[in-house]
Structure 1
Amino acid sequence: MTVVNDRRDASTKTAYDGDARTAIASRLLKGSSSRSFDPIVELDWEAPLEEGKYFLPPHVISLYGTDLWNAMTEEERIELSRQEMAHVLSVGIWFENLLNRALLLRLMREDPAAATSHYELTEMGDECRHMTMFGKVIERSGARPYMMRPVDRAAMYALPLVMRGTMLWVITLVGEELFDALQREMRTDPQLQPIVARLMQIHVTEEARHIGFARDGVMRRKPIRGRFETLVAANLHGLGGPVFRRLFTNPQMYKRAGIADPRQAARIARANPYFHETTVKAFAPLASFLRQADLMGPLGERLWRRSGFLP
């Protein structure tokens, strides 16, 4: 079946390759049927947390290597890792909720019999399980979830309305690849709590399909997208830089971890060269792909660099 979505009229020099997109979706559907996980079954919710193990590896924690970090006891460092993990998973829940709502709106315009529609429905099912898994791990860790501010909720309500064409897939990649790059490194760290390590293994496996689908969506549109679509998609993703910089150093995390001056801790984290190294490493695969897709515009690049995600 040839997918007609995202096509231009017959006068367009290069046609959208709907057959190839359908083939990708069909392959991912088969992969989903054989490599999907139910977190309620896959994670051992009854196992006790292991004494002395971290909820994120120390070297990726925002204050790692600073004077403030060096003055902490081991128990205080582990508590900070618990709070940063809970915050990261909370942000993951927010984003996967956003992606599902954008895909639901997209499905109103798509052919319900197309393989691409079927894979998008499958991906939404994956994301629902991920949100459940994230929430249960936060609860199991003994932390509390972090809630969105009113301004964040307003943005989340509005964003699905503009997530169309290339922008849909670029925003998807911004939300997924930053975490995926770090999880691939962290999931085998021997200092990690087993329940968190298993969460990361499941998430990396299933997100690989989502990332592949989004990257293919970007590249399929590359020959047919117009100048305006390219200009918008190549630059607006840069707004993710200051947003993630603020989220990754949320003073509320430091307050819950018992740090006396949480705002000062956030300033220290933002200036921390070790944390800068971590954020650059997280963004590197996506930055490379955006350049390959001719979607790293001057404003987008400037915003990511000023926020510490580019060297």
Structure 2
Amino acid sequence: MTTAIPTQRPEASDREETAGRLLASSARMSYDPMVEVDWDAPIPDDKYGLTPEWSTLYGTRLWDELTEEQRITLTKHEAASVSSVGLWFEILLMQMLLRDVYDRDKYSRHVQFALTEVADECRHSVMFARAGERLGVPNYGPHPVIHRLGRVWGHFFRGANAYASVMAAEEILDMMQREFMRDERVQPITRTVSKIHVLEEARHIRFAREEVVRRLQGAGRARLAIERMNTAVVVYFVMKSMVRADVYTNAGLDPARARAEARANTHHQDKVRRSGAKLMQFLTEAGLVSRPTRLLYKRVHLI
């Protein structure tokens, strides 16, 4: 099955114009998390780690049985798991951007914005690490097997699939953090970290989206098949890695029961599907969704 690529594509000359605007935006509105986040502020006992409706157990029988204290503890661990996966992917993203610009004209605005984005992602990585540390919960990260695969896969992370994967992973974090930053029930540190990430990632997502469309121009069927599968596999593993299974053990819950109820949680599945609609619309319009890859997106409830 071949999906038509949008007819309105940025021209190659638009790359410099877009990069110039994004560089100007970076100059006007960038944040230093070491200054913007009050790392010494106390962690309130009555605030959730993330918006409770985003908890993998919200809406389940087990959630209803938990005390308020247990719910808060669970969401702190879930927030740390989400942040640590974001940190892992930021590091892969920085590697990809640096490889991509290695042989390009360093005077170009495109390369200069890519380097600006690397600087942003460096700060975000430190910010995510400090947030998890400050919440007093373990450093989760993806499953060790996925972590090792990332080391290998990162070397093949290039072209349209690289930018599509970056954009998709950032959109997944963005769809959650937009709620976190506005929710007064959530820990102040989570809200501030989410706000900084959402505001700065808006530029990165714009940059990645336009690169995806540019780099798919003229792609043949074989290349499209590779781009589609690579993007879908990345999205699948990022979604699967968001909340590690040991979160439930560390939160003091029965891990077997918690995992079973989380897997069957239709409330969480529906929330992911609704929040990911914009991402899936873009991937479909860009020609990056096919019949085989739809199965992977369905497995993580994005469609």
Normalising by structure 1, we get a TM-score of 0.90
Q: What is the SS of the residue equivalent to 1:111?
A: coil
Name the structure, 1 or 2, with higher relative contact order (CA <8 Å, separation 6+).
2
Q: Quick check: 1:63–1:272 contact (8 Å CA) kept in 2? A: yes
Q: Quick check: 1:251–1:263 contact (8 Å CA) kept in 2? A: no
Partner of 1:207: 201
Letter in 1 for 2:263: R
Q: What is the SS of the residue equivalent to 1:18?
A: coil
- For residues 195-242 of structure 1, the C-alpha deviation after alignment (integer angstroms, 9 at most, x for no partner) is 111111111000000000000101222333232221211233222454
- For residues 67-91 of structure 1, the C-alpha deviation after alignment (integer angstroms, 9 at most, x for no partner) is 1111110000000000000000000
Give the gaps of 5 or more residues in structure 2: 1-8
Letter in 1 for 2:156: V
Q: Quick check: 2:11–2:214 contact (8 Å CA) kept in 1? A: yes
Alpha-carbon separation, structure 2, partners of 1:221 and 1:151: 30
CA 1:170/1:57 → structure 2, altered by over 3 Å: closer, same or farther? same
**Alignment pair present for 1:138 and 2:128:** no
**Alignment pair present for 1:217 and 2:231:** no
Among 274, 277, 283, which residue is 1:284 paired with? Answer: 277
Deviation at 1:270, TM superposition (A): 1.3
**Alignment pair present for 1:253 and 2:283:** no
CA 1:221/1:244 → structure 2, altered by over 3 Å: closer, same or farther? closer
Partner of 2:5: none
**Alignment pair present for 1:95 and 2:96:** no
Alpha-carbon separation, structure 1, partners of 2:47 and 2:142: 28
Give the gaps of 5 or more residues in structure 1: 1-14
Alignment map for 1:229-244 (pairs within 5 Å): 229-244=223-238
Partner of 2:288: 295
Alpha-carbon separation, structure 2, partners of 1:86 and 1:292: 33
Alignment map for 1:1-311 (pairs within 5 Å): 17-260=11-254, 262-310=255-303
Letter in 1 for 2:226: V
- For residues 133-181 of structure 1, the C-alpha deviation after alignment (integer angstroms, 9 at most, x for no partner) is 1111111111121144442232111222222221111111121101111
Alpha-carbon separation, structure 2, partners of 1:182 and 1:150: 24
Q: Quick check: 2:48–2:76 contact (8 Å CA) kept in 1? A: yes
Q: Quick check: 1:57–1:192 contact (8 Å CA) kept in 2? A: yes
CA 1:155/1:280 → structure 2, altered by over 3 Å: closer, same or farther? same
Q: Which moved more, 1:58-67 or 1:273-282?
A: 273-282
**Alignment RMSD, CA only?**
1.7
Alpha-carbon separation, structure 2, partners of 1:95 and 1:201: 18
Alpha-carbon separation, structure 2, partners of 1:150 and 1:191: 32
Alpha-carbon separation, structure 2, partners of 1:293 and 1:77: 40
In percent, how many aligned pairs have the same letter?
Answer: 36
Alpha-carbon separation, structure 1, partners of 2:259 and 2:181: 26
Alpha-carbon separation, structure 2, partners of 1:147 and 1:171: 18
Deviation at 1:263, TM superposition (A): 3.0
Alpha-carbon separation, structure 1, partners of 2:161 and 2:223: 8
Alpha-carbon separation, structure 2, partners of 1:186 and 1:148: 21
Deviation at 1:266, TM superposition (A): 1.4
Deviation at 1:107, TM superposition (A): 1.9
Alpha-carbon separation, structure 1, partners of 2:133 and 2:300: 31
CA 1:60/1:150 → structure 2, altered by over 3 Å: closer, same or farther? closer
Alpha-carbon separation, structure 2, partners of 1:275 and 1:149: 21
